């Protein structure tokens, strides 16, 4: 079904928040349609962010009858996504499987010697659905503002919680440390975003860069954002100044500020990729379906409620985005932080 109304495809913070979605009609006939049930291979266990998002998307597809065949979520956790990515790669040319993306589709292949090295070339980008922004979250009993936090981080070693070693939030935290001239942060990984937020809210960690949906259960009593890593303030958290306003990382050529930024940094990206060598016809069919899922009121409401940034890109746009995103990860993980990457790594 086609949703009438404008569609936003950029990364502007307010884009799509008030998107009007109206009545629907049957989609135009596509050159290709799936011939058997579609598997959505989820890299995390049930209840994780990718699992939640996938089931919302599948529910929308089912509700509006956007697919002629059933869609089945298949949880395949293991190896920080390595198991699911290896399986997807083995389905070369088969358009009947997709996996929802988070940044581990990049960080894991850079560190583990699996068949996928760069998703942009070794898999098939299908659609980018949203960006989860990073904010600097603290317990208001500990810090009242960025200035308060900045003074403390220069005087003593603060403890940060995140969701996994050498993943996107540790990268963001390391960038902040360098950009603001803080003493080295103590990074303590937790089992997931919920545990991260609970530790900060309970005063067991000094801060996190939680995505909004993870911190919201504790906001504003026990967790508040004091910095938004973006050029514009987030419409849900207008009290949080941006790192550009606070001039964090803007010294010299401003490279740290750019890498902290939502538009040019390493924030969490939610989308879908398929096996290698999917046909153009299959990509076009998925593009048509997921554009409609993006426009659906259920997904728009979910993004707004959970503080996401509505962002849609089709196969070509998502591929182009991933190429630069992968390069930024290599530059930060290897060249900035000195982390050891897979020995057979090639430039993408």
The candidate with the shortest Cα–Cα distance to 136, out of 248, 19, 252, 291, is 248
What is the average per-residue pLDDT within 73-93?
Answer: 94
CATH code, 2-132+267-336? 3.40.190.150
309 beta partners = 131
- Report the percent of the chain where pLDDT is more than 90: 70
Residue whose structure tokens are 């398929």: 274
User: What integer pLDDT is reported at residue 191 of this predicted model?
Assistant: 75
Highest mean pLDDT pick, 135-144, 189-198, 214-223: 135-144
Q: Does position 242 have pLDDT exceeding 50, yes or no?
A: yes
pLDDT band at 11 (very low <50, low <70, confident <90, very high): very low
Greater pLDDT, 268 or 172: 172
Work out the mean pLDDT of the chain and round it to a whole number.
89
With 50 as the cut, is the pLDDT of residue 198 above it?
yes
Confidence of residue 1 (pLDDT cuts 50, 70, 90): low
At residue 13 the predicted structure's pLDDT band, cuts being 50, 70 and 90, is very low
User: Above 70 in pLDDT, residue 285?
Assistant: yes
Segment 197-202 shows an average pLDDT of: 95
Q: What is the pLDDT of residues 136-166, one digit of tens each?
A: 999 999 999 999 999 999 999 999 998 878 8
Q: Taking the chain, what is the end-to-end CA distance rounded to the nearest angstrom?
A: 37
| CATH 3.40.190.10 boundaries in the chain | 135-260
Which part of the chain has CATH 3.40.190.150? 2-132+267-336
* 247 vs 169, residue with greater confidence: 247
Name the phi and psi angles at 188, rounded to 5.
-120, 110
Whose structure tokens read 């958290």?
237
- In CATH, the number for domain 135-260 is 3.40.190.10
Mean pLDDT within 121-132:
96
pLDDT in tens, 21-61: 333 434 444 489 999 999 999 988 787 778 888 999 999 99
| CA 72, chain centre distance (Å) | 22
Selected residue with higher pLDDT from 125 and 308: 125
Give the 3-state DSSP-derived string for 133-164, with helices as H, strands as E and coil as C: CCEEEECCCCCCCHHHHHHHHHHCCCEEEECC
pLDDT bucket at 91, cuts 50 / 70 / 90: very high
Are 133 and 210 contacting, i.e. CB atoms less than 8 angstroms apart? Answer: no
């Amino acid at each position: 079904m086609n949703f009438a109304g404008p569609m936003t495809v950029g990364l502007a913070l307010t884009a799509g928040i008030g998107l009007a979605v109206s009545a629907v009609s049957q989609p135009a006939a596509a050159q290709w349609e799936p011939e058997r049930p579609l598997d959505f291979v989820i890299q995390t266990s049930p209840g994780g962010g990718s699992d939640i998002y996938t089931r919302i998307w599948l529910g929308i597809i089912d509700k509006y009858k956007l697919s002629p065949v059933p869609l089945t979520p298949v949880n395949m956790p293991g190896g920080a996504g390595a198991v699911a990515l290896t399986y997807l790669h083995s389905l070369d040319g088969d358009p009947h499987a997709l996996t929802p993306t988070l940044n581990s589709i990049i960080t894991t292949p850079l560190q583990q010697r699996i068949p996928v090295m760069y998703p942009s070339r070794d898999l098939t980008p299908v659609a980018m659905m949203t960006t989860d922004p990073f904010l600097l979250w603290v317990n208001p009993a500990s810090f009242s503002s960025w200035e308060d936090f900045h003074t403390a981080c220069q005087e003593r070693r603060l403890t940060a919680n995140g969701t996994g070693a050498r993943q996107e939030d540790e990268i963001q935290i390391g960038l902040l440390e360098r950009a603001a001239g803080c003493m080295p942060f103590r990074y303590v990984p937790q089992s997931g975003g919920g545990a991260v937020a609970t530790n900060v809210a309970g005063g067991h960690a000094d801060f996190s860069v939680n995505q909004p949906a993870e911190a919201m259960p504790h906001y504003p009593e026990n967790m508040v954002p004091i910095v938004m890593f973006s050029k514009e303030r987030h419409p849900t958290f207008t009290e949080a100044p941006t790192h550009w306003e606070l001039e964090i990382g803007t010294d010299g050529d401003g490279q740290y500020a750019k890498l902290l930024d939502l538009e040019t940094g390493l924030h969490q990206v939610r989308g879908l990729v398929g096996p290698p060598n999917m046909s153009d016809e299959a990509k076009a069919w998925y593009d048509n379906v997921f554009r409609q899922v993006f426009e659906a009121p259920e997904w728009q409401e979910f993004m707004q409620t959970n503080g996401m940034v509505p962002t849609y890109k089709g196969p070509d746009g998502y591929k182009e985005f991933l190429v630069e995103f992968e390069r930024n990860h290599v530059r930060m993980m290897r060249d900035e932080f000195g982390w050891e990457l897979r020995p057979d790594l090639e430039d993408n």
